[in-house]
Amino acid sequence: MAGHHCHRAELGHLAELAALMSSSDGSSHQVNPHAKTEGALAASDPRDSGGPATRVRWLIVVMLMGFTFLGHFNRVSISVAGNGPLTAPGGMTEQQMGQVYSAFLLVYTIGMLPGGWLIDFLGPRLALAGMGLGMGLCVALTGMLGWAGMPVASLFLPLIVVRGVAGSCSVPLHPGAARSVSLWLPLSGRSTANGLVTAGALTGIALTYPIFGWVMDQIGWPAAFIVSGSTLAVFAVAWLFLSADDVLGHRWTNAAERRLVTSNRITPARSVASVRDLLRLFGNHGLLWLTLSYAAVSYFQYLFFYWIERYFSKELQLPDAQSRRAAFTVTIAMAVGMACGGWCSDHLCRRFGHLTGCRMMALFGMGMSAVFAWLGVSTKDPQQVVLYFSLALGALGLCEGIFWTTAPVLAPRNGALAGAFLNTGGNAGGLLAPVLTPMIGVRYGWPTAIAVACIVCGLGGLMWLLIRPDAIHESETSGPAVN
């Protein structure tokens, strides 16, 4: 019932303020009950007398890229230490380190839907700030455990607890970033923004091993964790002061930018989702097909994230240093694909409509990814394998932005909850890859294991054809080009 009361109250505010905020062309602007009306802002800010739109929205995108970069850097850093000092003689076993990694993933996955509800309730600004401060503190605590004077072997249970809490703190990262993008950019520019944000995550993952490893070598693993976690926490404080939930609530935006972002839609930055709202997501056929398609993407991604270095070192018999370089190259290729794919998707969507443009990108990207991966396992030449696998993950990266753009469009009132729903399905699909891949590889060979992933990826692309056009919220399907 609380959700219904909140919804009626929001509608009352929206109806009252919308009349005050119509532009000269008669279109309505987004209304934030917590922000001043555009008329009041125009009267108090001399920049609103005319001129081009400010570009505060791209400052927000850059900061979201920083969040995903630092969030994943701090998330993966434990595996760098786990491959070195934490599992050195006298330290923890590899099985114990595996349980430490799993503690993060388990809590992260379980907390995703409640985290989406919290993002909608608090707004993305506070949710992401809390993520950065909480995750940063947990990473710093990991280092403090090393300074406590305890033997490394005795850190198993404390690390299980700290990494579990870190998993809960990390929940708002991707749903919160996608929600922020949906509130800060018109639909015509969101895939570009979401592609850049997810590229930040892949870049963070790729650079964790060389950068965190170097810092560990210079100052020791406890101090490396403290420096890394503190950097994320400081960034979160900067975000808190420099950001806002949406374009109407930021003091640096002018009227032209607010008109650009909010044309043809009224989306509150905050909402309270009821149990009925959550259940509606399971009945939202478009969101279900989108989530299943993203689970296929994640299965393909996680296979490479967890097993690609082993494939290079064991199957192709490459030296360790060369295997790491090859894995780095493949990961960076996906980051480049994400950044380029968002821009291409926005151009396709402006030309053919949102759903048709996204379908074209999904069918091309996921289809070509499957083809290139199959070509990669069909050859034993290391250079060709790296080339084909890089093209495979680069093609898959082309599709990443359209998922995070479309999920809030399919459930506009609870956009963060929809993003959390999408990410929960993605994690579920991704977690199957580390389990099924070695089982298939041992019994039928690694080429067969990767071929199965290719089939899953191709089927995931076809699922976009099952999303009905009327599932796309009409108020989100039009709007000006964004730059």
pLDDT digits (tens, 9 = 90+) for 261-286: 887 565 677 777 778 888 888 888 99
State residue 320's pLDDT score: 67
On whether both 245 and 170 belong to a single domain, the answer is: yes
Both 229 and 291 in one domain: the answer is no
The Cα angle at residue 202 between residues 199 and 208, in degrees rounded to 5: 135
- Structural domain containing residue 376: 275-472
**269 part of a folded domain:** no
DSSP state of 312: I
Read off the amino acid at residue 415: G
Final residue belonging to a domain, choices 201, 236, 262: 262
Assess whether 108 and 83 both reside in one domain. yes
Write down the pLDDT at residue 327: 77
| Residues 38 and 107 grouped into a single domain | no
Burial 362-376 (b: 16+ CB within 10 A, else e): bbbbbbbbbbbbbbb
482 lies in a domain?
Answer: no
Same domain, yes or no: 39 and 105 = no
Distance of CA 183 to the CA centre of its chain: 16
pLDDT digits (tens, 9 = 90+) for 334-373: 999 999 999 999 999 999 998 999 999 999 999 999 999 8
- The answer on 179 and 30 residing in a single domain is no
> How confident is the model at residue 98, as a pLDDT?
78
Alpha helices in 311-399 (DSSP H): 320-352, 354-377, 382-397
Report if residue 267 sits inside a domain.
Answer: no
Do 417 and 306 share a structural domain? yes
> 185 and 299 share a domain?
no
Q: How many domains are there within the chain?
A: 3
Are 199 and 193 in contact, with CB atoms under 8 Å apart? no
Q: Which residues of the chain have pLDDT under 70?
A: 1-50, 264-267, 306-310, 313-315, 320, 470-483
Number of H helices, E strands in the chain: 19, 0
Q: Are residues 237 and 361 in the same domain?
A: no
The answer on 94 and 219 residing in a single domain is yes
140 and 63 inside one domain? yes
CATH of the domain at 169: 1.20.1250.20
Q: Which of 69, 90, 94, 60 is nearest to 79 (CA)?
A: 94
Can you give the pLDDT at residue 325? Answer: 79
As given in the structure block, the two tokens for residue 184 are 């800060």
Looking at this protein, which amino acid is placed at residue 107? V
222 & 280 share domain: no
Structure confidence by residue, pLDDT tens digits, 143-187: 999 888 788 888 889 999 999 999 999 999 999 999 999 999 988
- From 201, 233, 262, give the residue that closes a domain: 262
DSSP string over 313-329? IIIS---HHHHHHHHHH
The pLDDT, as a whole number, for residue 16 is: 35
Question: Which of these, 133, 170, 106, 466, lies nearest to 296 by C-alpha position?
Answer: 466
